[in-house]
Structures are given as structure tokens and as C-alpha cells.
Structure 1
Amino acid sequence: MRWRKGRRSSNVEDRRGESPGMGGGGMGGLGNLLALAPFLLRSKKGWLILAAIAAFYFFFGGDRLFEGAPQQAPSLDSEQSRQSGSEPAPGDEVADFVSVVLADTEDTWGQLFEAAGSRYVPPKLVLYDDAVRSACGLNSAAVGPFYCPGDNKVYLDLSFLGDLKQLGAPGDFAFAYVIAHEVGHHVQNLMGTSQKVQQARMQADKVTANRLSVMLELQADCFAGVWAFYAHRDRQLLEEGDIEEGLAAAAAVGDDRLQKRSGRAVSPDAFTHGSAEQRVYWFKQGFTSGDVNKCNTFAALSGRQQ
């Protein structure tokens, strides 16, 4: 990637070296509770699965994803969202790279939201070591990068870069894809999509809840592809081989690949992020079109759109 001359974001918090502590935390693990809720709310008959997904599609009200997006983005001025870290130290190349990628996503989504008659408020991105406390609770680096809708922040342990290499997805753009995917979850939160998914999952059986989660994750992959489209077209940030790195990363974190890697049998009903093939497909969908409205995974995967 041609990133060194790119703009740096002012929205990076460096909490590396800080203890996450055991107090505070705002929602106190609500994200984990919501993830467990579908397993507790049993049980519906199997034939309801597709009906629930189709109903969710109609709940979205059509194919235009930006229709109904808030004209004013939610305020981030709360106790939970105030900066508690510092800016990365000069000379920290990996943190510098993260800052450039985040800034580029800000430019892309700022333009897209403005064109849709709305305002984009970018997320903060928190760098941390080992464990971190957010409005979604206390999380260890083992969970990987994540977005917390409770405080509108992306959380990233830079050791995940090494994890990507071990999964067979080296390269700077592979890491950029991961950042753009998590920012995609922030976009979903601003658009109200995340809230609708959580509400639907709370009322669904386990398999349906997993499928809704897959739709949400694949849409974030598509949004990452949309960002890559504009980063390449408007700012020539991408170099030869970068997209291949992104596709390799998308495939490497497919649920089927991860299940096989852990020695388990592939179980599509247990997928929460999508198969390698699905993740590659939706990233490419965003990158080749540059169109947010081509990212309606909820319509496509419920059989309403091919």
C-alpha cells in the first residue's frame, strides 16, 4: 500500500501498557449477554428460520441501505466515549499505518454519508495489549479485533497482525482489510442496522441468530470492499497485489477455515461470520461496485436478491 504520505487520523487512542482494571465498563458485558441470548431463547421449529430471515429483510424496507439512515449521527460525547489513552508515539510504524488506514476510512465514509444527506461521525480506534475494558465489557486479545457499539470504538491488539500471518494472510492490505471491516460495523451502527439485527437475534432460535450474525458480518466485509474501491480510485492507495492480500485475509477468517484449523467438522449452522467463499464474495462485491446498496446481504441471503 502507498500509505506513508496519507493523512493521519486524530481518532487513535493508545492504551498499550495500561491495565484494563476491573471497574467501570459502562454496559458491563452487555455485548456478551446479547451474544448468548439466542442460545437461551429456545426454541422455534426449523421451518421458521427462512421466514424469520425473510421477515427481517422486509423489516429493512427494501434494497436502499442508506434510506432511513439517521440525518444526524449519534453523539459520541459521553463518559464512555471520552478519550482515556494517548496518541501513538512518533516512530511507531505499525500504529502509524493504522492511523493512515483509519483516516482514509473517515474520508470515504464522510463523503458517502454526505452524499446521502447524513453526517458521518468517525469511530475512535483503541490500540491495546492483552486485554481492554470497553462499554461492551472486559475483552482479551484472544477475541481478535472488535467494534463496541456501546462506545462507538474499534479495539485492536496489534499482535493480531502476527495472527493473520499465521493464518496465511500476510501483507499490509490484509491488516487494512481487518480495520476497514471493523469500521464497517461502526457504519452499520450509525445506520441502525446493528440494532435491528440484535433485536431480531433476541427473538430467534440459535440457527437463525447465527445466520443473522453472518449477514451482518458479510455486510461489514462488503463495506470494507467499498472503502477499498474509493481508496484505490480516488487516492491511489492500493498497489499491485493488495486486493489479493485482502481476499486472502477474508478467506483466512472464514468460519469453515477456522473450524477446520481447530480440528472440528465444518458446521454451517454454527457459522457466525460466513464461509471463506462468502467472505471473499462480499468483499469483492463492495470493491468492484463501490456501491453501498450492493451490500444488502440481508436481502441476498434470504433469497430476495441474487
Structure 2
Amino acid sequence: MRLRGIKRSGNVEDRRGMRGGRAAVGGLGGVGLLVVLAIGYFAGIDVTPLLQQQPAAQGRPYTPTPEEEQAAEFATRVLATTEEVWSGVFRRQLNATYQPPVLVLFSGVTQSPCGGASGATGPFYCPADQKAYLDLDFFVTLSRQLGANGDFAAAYVIAHEVAHHVQNEVGILGQVDQARRQASQVQANALTVRLELQADCLSGVWARAVHGLMDQGDLAEALNAARMIGDDRLQRQAGQVPQPHTFTHGTSEQRAGWFQRGFDSGQMSSCDTFGTDRL
């Protein structure tokens, strides 16, 4: 992705080096709303209890590596592209004004109104404070452990979380949260799948708008990333037989397919995952 000349976003809160973020590590609790909305990429084991047992590092200054600084600069510039894209899309397609989210960069663990954030939750968006949370180490996990290589795969992750903010801006997150509270677990999971696939589609809308910044192969990187984090693949990777009723993000093919749909159309209206019987 060609980001030279793209200014960094000013909507960034850098908490790297702040052990536990704004609160002590012992304050990490359950991930209530994170689970409700299933925003996190890892829907597996929550290791927050283990993090609670770790003593806070004291007296050791935090010095980011050059690689981490490069990743941080990349993230802030990608965020800037989302701000420009969604401001234009809201104006043209919704006749509305877009209010961008804040991106919180953290290392290890931090706090949010939605609960504790750690490597167990992965990147996530918290509608309570309208902030997206990202531990830059996730980019390494994405590449080395999940097999999603390339800078545009990382950009897709950021765009996906911003897409949840877009959903929040237009009222979809609140509607889904209310519907989930009145549904069975299986029904709630199905609603969350539609929410996540819509975010993938909206990520595709963003990608279409930044097509001029994309290198050859970038689209393939994003589609591969979508496939690598499909529920069916992650469950197989964990040695399990895929169980569709437990899915919270959609299959690999569904995720890639909805991203492609958004990319092909460039229209938010094409991302109505709640109005179709075929995902």
C-alpha cells in the first residue's frame, strides 16, 4: 500500500508502555460487551485471568522497536485514509456528517469501557467510547500465526474495526445489541455473524475508495486475510470440527465474499447483510 504523502491521523491515543492502560492490571474484568458484540478477532480462550496475575512492570522505561514505530506510523496513516473515505461516503451516500473514531495503540493490556483489552481479544471497537483498540503485535500474529501476510492485510484489520464505528454511527450496533439481548445464544451468534460480515463489506467499500493507493497484489492480501480469520478455518486450526451454530464472524468464504462485494460496488447499500437469506 502506497502511503507516502498521506499525513498521519490526529485521532490517535498512544498508550504503549502504559502497563494496564489507564487503570491497574488488577482491574481487568470480563469482556462483557466485547463478547456481546463479538468484535474481537479471537473468539477462543480468554486469558485475561492470567493477565490479572502478572505484576505491573515498574521502573523500566518503554522503548518501542523500530519495527513497532514503523507499524504505528502505518496504522495512523491507514486511519487517515479511513477518515477521508468515510467522510466522503457519508456525505455522498447518506447526506450525513461522519465523526471519526479514535485509534488507541497499546502494548500488552489496557482498559476500555467495554472491558479489559489484551492479546486475547485482538483488535476491537468499543462503541461506549467510540474508540478502536489495537496492539500492534497483532500484525505479527496475523502474519506468522494466521497466515495473512502483507501490509494490506494489516490495513484490512484497521478498516474492519473502523467499519464497526461506521455501524455505530448509523445506529446498527445498538440495534443488534438490543436484538441479541432478546435472543437465544444461537440466534445471537447468527446476528453477530451478519454484523461482522457487514463490517467486512464496508471494509471493501473503503478499499475501493483507496484503490489508487493499492499495489498489485493488495486486494489478494485482503481477501486472504478475510479467509484466514473465518470461523470455520480458526476452529479447524484449533483441532475442532467446525460448528456453524457457534460461529460469530462467518466462514472464510463468506468473509472474503462480502469484502469483495463492497470492493466491487463501493456502495454502503450493497452491504445489507441483515436483509438477505443468503450470506
Question: When the two structures are superposed, what TM-score results if normalisation uses the length of structure 2?
Answer: 0.84
Q: Check 1:10–1:35 CA distance in 2 against 1; reply closer, same or farther (3 A cut).
A: closer
Structure scoring higher RCO (CA < 8 A, sep ≥ 6) equals: 1
Asked if 1:292 is matched to 2:271, the reply is no
Q: Aligned-residue CA RMSD in angstroms?
A: 2.3
Number of aligned pairs?
248
Q: Check 1:130–1:24 CA distance in 2 against 1; reply closer, same or farther (3 A cut).
A: closer
The corresponding residue for 1:108 is 85
Match of 1:144 among 98, 122, 125: 122
The corresponding residue for 1:212 is 191
Q: Check 1:285–1:33 CA distance in 2 against 1; reply closer, same or farther (3 A cut).
A: closer
Structure 1 ranges of 4+ moved more than 3 A:
22-25, 27-30, 32-36, 88-91
Asked if 1:195 is matched to 2:171, the reply is no
Larger mean Cα displacement after TM superposition, 15-24 or 217-226? 15-24
Match of 1:132 among 89, 95, 110: 110
User: 1:148 offset after TM fit, Å?
Assistant: 0.2
Alpha-carbon separation, structure 1, partners of 2:91 and 2:34: 33
The corresponding residue for 2:215 is 239
The corresponding residue for 1:169 is 148
Q: Is the 8 A contact 1:226 1:286 kept in 2?
A: yes
Counterpart of 1:104 in structure 2: which amino acid? T
Asked if 1:278 is matched to 2:254, the reply is yes
Q: Is the 8 A contact 1:110 1:119 kept in 2?
A: yes
Structure 2 unmatched runs, 5+: 39-63
Q: How does 1:3-42 map to 2 (within 5 A)?
A: 3-20=3-20, 21-22=23-24, 30-32=32-34, 34=36
Q: Is the 8 A contact 1:181 1:224 kept in 2?
A: yes
Alpha-carbon separation, structure 1, partners of 2:16 and 2:155: 20
User: 1:193 offset after TM fit, Å?
Assistant: 0.2
Structure 1 unmatched runs, 5+: 37-87
Q: Is the 8 A contact 1:29 1:135 kept in 2?
A: no
For 1:80-107, what per-residue CA distance to the aligned partner results, in whole angstroms no more than 9, with x for missing partners? xxxxxxxx99992111110110000000
Over the matched positions of the two proteins, sequence identity in percent amounts to 51
Alpha-carbon separation, structure 2, partners of 1:293 and 1:128: 34
For 1:207-238, what per-residue CA distance to the aligned partner results, in whole angstroms no more than 9, with x for missing partners? 11100000000000000000000011xxx110
The corresponding residue for 1:97 is 74
Alpha-carbon separation, structure 1, partners of 2:82 and 2:66: 21
Counterpart of 1:133 in structure 2: which amino acid? Q
SS of residue paired to 1:143 = coil
User: 1:5 offset after TM fit, Å?
Assistant: 1.8
Question: When the two structures are superposed, what TM-score results if normalisation uses the length of structure 1?
Answer: 0.77
Q: Is the 8 A contact 1:34 1:198 kept in 2?
A: yes
Alpha-carbon separation, structure 2, partners of 1:262 and 1:89: 31
User: 1:4 offset after TM fit, Å?
Assistant: 2.1
Q: Check 1:33–1:98 CA distance in 2 against 1; reply closer, same or farther (3 A cut).
A: closer
Q: Check 1:211–1:237 CA distance in 2 against 1; reply closer, same or farther (3 A cut).
A: same
SS of residue paired to 2:213 = coil
Asked if 1:261 is matched to 2:275, the reply is no
Alpha-carbon separation, structure 2, partners of 1:212 and 1:156: 24
Q: Is the 8 A contact 1:201 1:208 kept in 2?
A: yes
The corresponding residue for 2:135 is 157
SS of residue paired to 1:6 = coil
User: 1:112 offset after TM fit, Å?
Assistant: 1.1
Q: How does 1:31-70 map to 2 (within 5 A)?
A: 31-32=33-34, 34=36
User: 1:22 offset after TM fit, Å?
Assistant: 3.5
